[in-house]
Amino acid sequence: MNDHPTPLGGTCSARFDPLRELFAAKLESGEDLGASLAVNIDGEMVVDLWGGWADEARTVPWTENTIPCVFSTTKAMTSLAALVLVDRGELDLDATVARYWPEFAARGKEGIKVRHLLSHTSGVPNRAGDAAPCRAVGSTCLTSRRSLSVPVSPLRSQSKEKSSCR
């Protein structure tokens, strides 16, 4: 354990001082080892904070350029974006994915609905083969592989349609 005070950097609009204080308290208490927090409102960065430690030994300060390892963050953002589209009438949860992405229907996936993807009940594996070669060429490669994938299990929500993503 390092005896130095927990580092905290960045900027914060005065109206978000309580958020800065909470952020600092979480780091100081050890509840969070290190973190970054950014809040942008209408194009204005009102909070841009970072602090704590980038290593468990607490010898490397967390900086504005520390790259964290994150898991599953896209699930929540994808769901929120999808629900905004549903609210606007631009996305139908009961439509097939192929309505919006025709290539997805390949190889037995024509009956999979949008709600099945959002609720992880489609039977499509979480990875379409080895994604490593795709990293160099970007999302087009991954999108193509996903459309060519085959469900590994039957559509889990067919027998319990009402319970998924309602």
Positions marked active-site = 72
| Non-local CB neighbours of 56 within 8 Å, separated by 6+ positions | 33
Scanning the structure block, which residue is given the tokens 């769901």? Answer: 79
Helix H segments across 1-160? 17-29, 73-87, 97-100, 114-118, 139-148
Looking at the DSSP bridge assignments, the partners of residue 9 are 50
Q: Strand pairing of 34-41 and 8-12?
A: unpaired
Tokens for 99, please give them. Answer: 């309505």
